Chain A
Amino acid sequence: MVQPMVRTPIYLDNNATTRTDPRVVEAMLPFFTEDYGNAASRNHAFGWKAEEAVENAREQIAALIGCGPKEVIFTSGATESNNLAIKGVAAMYKSKGNHIVTVATEHKAVLDPCKRLERDGYTVTYLDVDRDGRVSAQQVAEALTDKTILVSIMGVNNEIGTVQPLAEIGKVCKAKGVLFHSDCVQAVGKVPVDVEAMGIDLLSLSGHKIYGPKGIGALYVRRKNPRVRLDPIIDGGGHERGMRSGTLPVPLIVGLGVACELCRKELTTEAERLTRLREKLREGIMSRLEEVYLNGHPTERQPGNLNLSFAFVEGEGLMMGMKEIAVSSGSACTSASLEPSYVLKALGVGDELAHSSIRFGLGRFTTEEDVAFTIDLVVKAVNHLRAMSPLYEMHKAGIDLNTIQWAAH
């Protein structure tokens, strides 16, 4: 099965992080060694150059999500953006109410700030999702109370790629006058995002998910209709309209700006290309293997994301047999906790299928040859493991695995 045209290992974990685009790196370099001024230095050429570069990046980011450049606040990444949005709104609007609405399948960078707020006396509603991982605008509407100050719902799920109906949710929030935050780390640059059309008041994005550098992110904060105010979580020199103090990392900001510009220019063609490659991968695998299940929505999903469960085979064991590709698994064995993916559990995927899940994350640098190679490799590895799986043998013998008294440990 040697296909010499493919360079291994093949990176198929683009939902975890992406390769920094060489065009991005090139744009960043002068800001380390030549134009290294502090953007807050108002009195010399070095400072002016840096400030100009930062303002240019703000415009590039704004153009991608349909906001104004002054509404972009730089942060260290989406985890900080999510923390700032949720804790910042909670603290600032405390007198208005203490209720927050979010979803069970959100990223930990949203769920954990919400849990902390619960300990501080706030109430949080965690909405359930359907089998495809979607939440409806109606669920949001029904969860709102006169104490609700914030709704936080992600654009695209990081594990299963499901796209949430942001525009409909935004409409519900607007009608009720509740602020709407969206963690769009996996959505920005991959699917169309427009804060006006979607009624989003706060939006988190990250550089390294969109072929930009790690360590930089942004939070969009609406300036009018309504003007959103935030209590900062980092105090200091009053940068970023006082919402996020700290010297701006100009090279990273330049990189984020260029990354956004490239995504904006290439979004449509790239989304089409990745959807086609993803479907080729899915069909290639599912036509050659039985008992493979798709996790997440079949069509309303991020173009590059494919999440499959391979019944009777454990995820980490499977990854070990596919060392020529870099993927990730919802199996507990691959995570720090002992539990399999909480996202898959929320969809109603059983624990055994959660342990059997593999996330393929295709990206800008994924080729047709990579996909063809991956199909062959996956089929071979799954067959190898099924040949030694007692569960597969039982399945083949017609035994219902649910009727067996397992000695759980």
Chain B
Amino acid sequence: MPYSTQVLDHYNNPRNVGSFDKDDPNVGTGLVGAPECGDVLRLQVKIDPATGRIEDACFKTFGCGSAIASSSLATEWLKGKTVEEALAIRNTEIVEELSLPPVKVHCSVLAEDAIKAAIRNYQEKQAQLPEQGQDQEQPAEVGSAS
């Protein structure tokens, strides 16, 4: 199966490979997929609680080239976005950007799931934080991804 130039580019030069401290309250971690299914995406976001903006994002992925490219692209798109904007990213946009064939659409679905899971994880951690001095501007609760 020939890969699109965009997929090849992300595969050969993946953006933002790495890990953040998952215990950092400003870090949200999304781990989706399963080894026995052949795809595991771990996507992490670092969010500034004051502004609700994603300062940084990184990923590690076990999967095919399209899964790696989908996660790499997602981290690129996430940087600088607000939580609301990030949650508005749809898998179809990833499919379009990477020219994924129909059999690889599930890779983009996983990437969207990973974004949502990472942000949900951040929000859960923030909600559990002990009362802090300043009033945090919490982003509005967004429907949980399933």
Q: Which residues of A are at the interface with B, using a C-beta cutoff of 8 A?
A: 312-314, 316-317, 320-321, 331-333, 340, 350-352, 355, 387-393, 401, 406-409
Contacts and interface: CB of A to CB of B under 8 A. Distances in A.
Contacts, number: 89
Contact of A320 (B11, B17, B41, B106): B11
A355 B37 CA distance: 8
Interface string B1-15: 001000010010010
B36 interface: yes
Interface of B: 3, 8, 11, 14, 17, 19, 31-42, 59-65, 67-68, 106, 109-110, 113, 117
Most chain A C-beta atoms within 10 Å of own C-beta, residue among B61, B62, B67, B110: B62
A332 B64 CA distance: 10
Contacts of B67: 314, 317
Contacts of A314: 38-39, 62-64, 67
B100 to A, nearest CB: 13
A408 B113 CA distance: 12
A390 B65 contact: no
7 contacts: A314-B38, A333-B38, A352-B38, A401-B35, A407-B34, A409-B33, A409-B34
A348 to B, nearest CB: 14
Contacts of B59: 388
A305 to B, nearest CB: 23
B2 to A, nearest CB: 11
B64 A317 contact: yes
Given A331-B38, A388-B17, A390-B40, A320 B65 contact: yes
B68 A388 contact: yes
Contacts of A388: 14, 17, 59-61, 68
The 3 closest A-B pairs by CB, nearest first: A406-B34, A351-B36, A352-B35
A391 B41 CA distance: 10
Given A314-B39, A351-B37, A390-B62, 13 more contacts: A313-B62, A314-B63, A314-B64, A317-B11, A317-B62, A317-B67, A340-B38, A351-B36, A390-B42, A390-B60, A391-B62, A406-B40, A409-B37
Given A331-B38, A387-B17, A393 B64 contact: no
Contacts of B33: 406-409
A316 B35 contact: no
A117 B3 CA distance: 40
Contacts of A355: 35-38
A387 B19 CA distance: 11
A324 B42 CA distance: 29
Contacts of A313: 62
A392 B31 CA distance: 14
Given A388-B68, A409-B110, A317 B63 contact: yes
A231 to B, nearest CB: 40
A408 B36 contact: yes
A389 B32 contact: no
Nearest to A340: B38
A316 B61 contact: no
A409 B106 contact: yes
A317 B37 contact: no
A408 B37 contact: yes
A24 B31 CA distance: 54
Most chain A C-beta atoms within 10 Å of own C-beta, residue among B11, B17, B40, B41: B40
